[in-house]
Amino acid sequence: MTEKKLRFPEKNAWEISLRVRYSETDQMGIVYHANYLPWFEMGRTEFCRQLGISYREWEERGVLLPCVEAHCRYKRPARYDDLLVVRTVIRELKRCSVTFGYNVFREEILLTEGYTKHAFTDPQGKLLSRPEPFYGMLERRMISSESE
Amino acid sequence: MTEKKLRFPEKNAWEISLRVRYSETDQMGIVYHANYLPWFEMGRTEFCRQLGISYREWEERGVLLPCVEAHCRYKRPARYDDLLVVRTVIRELKRCSVTFGYNVFREEILLTEGYTKHAFTDPQGKLLSRPEPFYGMLERRMISSESE
Amino acid sequence: MTEKKLRFPEKNAWEISLRVRYSETDQMGIVYHANYLPWFEMGRTEFCRQLGISYREWEERGVLLPCVEAHCRYKRPARYDDLLVVRTVIRELKRCSVTFGYNVFREEILLTEGYTKHAFTDPQGKLLSRPEPFYGMLERRMISSESE
Amino acid sequence: MTEKKLRFPEKNAWEISLRVRYSETDQMGIVYHANYLPWFEMGRTEFCRQLGISYREWEERGVLLPCVEAHCRYKRPARYDDLLVVRTVIRELKRCSVTFGYNVFREEILLTEGYTKHAFTDPQGKLLSRPEPFYGMLERRMISSESE
C-alpha cells in the first residue's frame, strides 16, 4: 500500500461509502466475489462526476467506457450490513484507455484491492483517441497528482 | 395447481432445466428470492424460441417486452447445485400485453410459482397493439391450449 | 395510492435513497426488473435498523426472515444514475409473518410499487410464532400508525 | 494462447455451454463485465464434479474454496442469447490454494480469458493444507496433464 499511496495521494483519490446488501452475500456468509466489480463501478461513477461530467453524460455525448480488463485481490471478506468505503484513483491514462484503481475498506482495514481498464469507444464499439473534453479532465487529474 | 393444469395442459407448457449457481445463493444458504426472476426470463426466452421466433429477433424487429408486473410465491427453498426445471405457459394475452406463468420444480416438488406481465412496446417505449407476427404466434398457442 | 397513504402515513414510513448502478441496467436501457427486489431489501433493512435492532442482529439472535412472496408493479422505468427514494412501510403483521410495502420514487414520480412477505423462522427454517423482541417492535409501529 | 494450450491440452480441460441471459446485459447492449465471474464459477463447479466429487460435497465435508484473486481480460463482447462455451483448466496447485483458468468462446472465437485463485479453508475461514481427498484429485489431474 505504501508505494501506491505515494503515487496516488489521498487528495487525488475519491471516496464513496456503501452498505453491503443481503443480495450480495453467498452461502459462505460473505460477499460473493463478483459483487465487488459493481462497487468499483460506483467508485468510478462518482469519480467522474466529481471531475465535472457524470459518466451518464459521457455516454449521452457518445463516449463509452467498456471494460477490457478487471482484476481483484480479496484479502479479507466483507459481510452483510458492513459499511464500506471504496477509494478510487486513476492508475494509468493512455491514448485509447484509462485504468482505475480501487481499494475497499471497512473502517481502516483494507479488504480488497483491484483495478479495471476501460477503452474509449463510440456507441458502435469503435476505439476513440483522446476523446475530449473527457481525456483532458482525466489528464489534468493525473498531472495534479504527480506534481505533488 | 389443479385448475391451472386444466387451463394449461403440460403439452402447451415449455420446460427448461438449469443448475443453481453459487452466486445465486445468499447467507441463508438458499437461493436469494430475486434470482428466480432471471430464471423466469430464461423460461420465456425458450418458450418464444420454441414458438418459432427467438426473443432476440423480436427485439431486432422492433418489438420489446418490458416487464410491467411480477409476482412470485416461494414454497420451498432452492439450494446451490440443485437441478431445477422451469415450466412456462402463457396465462393471458391482451391487445397490448402478455402474461407468462412459471412453475419451478426440483424433481417433482414445486418450489416456486409466479408470473410476469409484459407490455408490447417499440424501442422508444410506445405501446404496440397486437404486433405481428408475434401476437399471432402467441394467440395460436393459446387457442391450441384451450381447444383441448 | 391515496388509500395506502391513509393507512400508512408518511411519518410511519421510512425512506432511503440510492443511486442506480450501471450493473442494474439491461440492454433495453432501463433497470432490469429483478433488481428492484434488492432495493426493497435495502428499504426493510433500514426500516428494521430504525425500529431499534438491525436485521443483522435479528439473524445473530436466531430469527430469520426468508421471503415467501414478492410482488412488483412497474409503472415507469428507472435508468442508470437516477437518484431514487425507496419508501418502506409495514403492510401486515401476522403471528408468523410480516409483509412490507414499498414505493420507489424519482423526485415525486412513483416508478414502482411492491410488497414482500416474510416468514419468521429459526436458522433451520422452522416457523417461529411472534418472536420477541422483534414482533413487539413491529407491532408497536403498526399500532402507532393506526392510532393516528 | 499457444503456450497455454501446450501446458493445458484440451483433453485436460472441461467445457460447459451456457446461453446468455437478458439479465446479464447492460445498457451498452453487451454482457456486464462482472457477470463472467459466475460463468467461471459454473465452469469450475462442473470441473470438480467431473473429477469425481461435486463442490457441494466439498463444502458438506468441510472444505471451502473462497476466492482470493480474480482476473479477467475482455477481448470481444458477449451478447444476449449467445450460446457460449466456458473451458476450464487447473492453472496452478499449491499447498493451500488452487488457481483455475478459463476461456469463454462463442463458436471458435475467444471472447474472454481469466483466472480465479481459491484458498482451501474450513467453514471458519482457517487455511487448510492439502485437504484430502480433494487435493489428490486435483494433483492427479495436473500430473496427467503434464505427462502428456
Q: The CATH number of the domain where D22 resides is what? A: 3.10.129.10
The CB-side HSE value for B26 (13 A sphere, CA atoms) comes to: 20
Q: In angstroms, rounded to a whole number, what is the distance separating the alpha carbons of residues C95 and C108? A: 35
Enumerate neighbours of C (3 or more CB pairs within 8 A).
A, B, D
pLDDT number for residue A8: 42
pLDDT number for residue A116: 98
Enumerate neighbours of D (3 or more CB pairs within 8 A).
A, B, C
Residue A100 and residue A55 in contact, taking contact as beta carbons nearer than 8 Å:
no
With beta carbons under 8 A apart, name residues in chain C contacting B68. Answer: 73-75
Neighbour-count burial for B131-146, b at 16+ CB within 10 Å, e otherwise = beebbeebeebbeebe
pLDDT number for residue B47: 95
Grid cell locating C34:
429483478
Range of the domain at D96: 14-137
Residue A147 counted as domain residue: no
Residue A35 and residue B37 in contact, taking contact as beta carbons nearer than 8 Å:
no
With beta carbons under 8 A apart, name residues in chain B contacting D55. Answer: 22, 81
Q: In angstroms, rounded to a whole number, what is the distance separating the alpha carbons of residues B113 and B92? A: 16
Q: Give the H/E segment covering residue C2.
A: helix C2-7
Q: In angstroms, rounded to a whole number, what is the distance separating the alpha carbons of residues D95 and D98? A: 8
Interface contact flag, C21 A38, Cβ < 8 Å? yes
Residue A144 counted as domain residue: no
Interface contact flag, C70 B70, Cβ < 8 Å? yes
Interface contact flag, A80 B27, Cβ < 8 Å? yes
- pLDDT less than 50: residues of chain D: 1-9
Nearest CA in chain B to D82: B56
Q: In angstroms, rounded to a whole number, what is the distance separating the alpha carbons of residues B148 and C13? A: 50
Number of H helices, E strands in chain D: 4, 5
Q: Which residues pair with A66 in a beta bridge?
A: none
pLDDT number for residue A4: 39
Average pLDDT, stretch B58-68? 97
**Interface B:C, Cβ pairs < 8 A:** 59
pLDDT above 90 (res A38): yes
C-alpha closest to that of B34 among D138, C116, A92 = C116
pLDDT number for residue D143: 79
pLDDT above 60 (res C58): yes
| Positive or negative torsion for Cα D69, D74, D80, D86 | negative
As to burial, measured by CB atoms within 10 angstroms (0-12 exposed, 13-18 middle, 19+ buried), residue C96 is middle
With beta carbons under 8 A apart, name residues in chain D contacting C29. Answer: 27
pLDDT digits (tens, 9 = 90+) for B18-55: 999 999 999 999 999 999 999 999 999 999 999 999 99
Structural domains in chain A (count): 1
pLDDT number for residue A112: 98
Residue B21 and residue D18 in contact, taking contact as beta carbons nearer than 8 Å:
no
Q: Is D26 a catalytic residue?
A: yes
pLDDT above 60 (res A148): no
Q: In angstroms, rounded to a whole number, what is the distance separating the alpha carbons of residues C27 and C22? A: 11
Its pTM stands at 0.92
Residue A142 counted as domain residue: no
Interface contact flag, C55 A21, Cβ < 8 Å? no
Helices (H), A61-133: none
Residue B148 counted as domain residue: no
The DSSP secondary structure of B48-67, one letter per residue, reads HHHHTS-HHHHHHTT-B--E
Interface contact flag, B23 A29, Cβ < 8 Å? no
Q: In angstroms, rounded to a whole number, what is the distance separating the alpha carbons of residues C102 and C46? A: 12
Residue B19 counted as domain residue: yes
pLDDT above 70 (res C63): yes
Helices D36-51 and D134-146: angle between axes, nearest 10 degrees: 90
Displacement of CA C11 from its chain's centroid (Å)? 15
Residue D38 counted as domain residue: yes
Cβ-Cβ contacts under 8 Å for A63 (sequence gap 6 or more): A120, A121, A122, A128, A131, A134
DSSP E strands: which ranges in A3-145?
14-19, 67-74, 83-94, 97-106, 109-119
Give B 64-93 residues with CB within 8 A of chain A.
80
Residue B7 counted as domain residue: no
With beta carbons under 8 A apart, name residues in chain C contacting A54. Answer: 81
Residue C88 and residue C13 in contact, taking contact as beta carbons nearer than 8 Å:
yes
CA distance D33 to chain B (A): 15
Interface contact flag, D34 A37, Cβ < 8 Å? yes
Cβ-Cβ contacts under 8 Å for A144 (sequence gap 6 or more): A12
Q: Does C34 touch chain D (CB under 8 A)?
A: yes
pLDDT digits (tens, 9 = 90+) for B125-146: 999 999 999 999 999 988 776 6
Grid cell locating D58:
466439498
Higher pLDDT, D84 or B7: D84
Displacement of CA B28 from its chain's centroid (Å)? 26
Residue A28 and residue A87 in contact, taking contact as beta carbons nearer than 8 Å:
no
Helices (H), D13-133: 36-51, 55-60
Give the residue carrying C-alpha cell 394475452.
B93
Tell me: cis bond preceding B133? Omega within 30 of 0 counts.
Answer: yes
Q: In angstroms, rounded to a whole number, what is the distance separating the alpha carbons of residues C5 and C7? A: 5
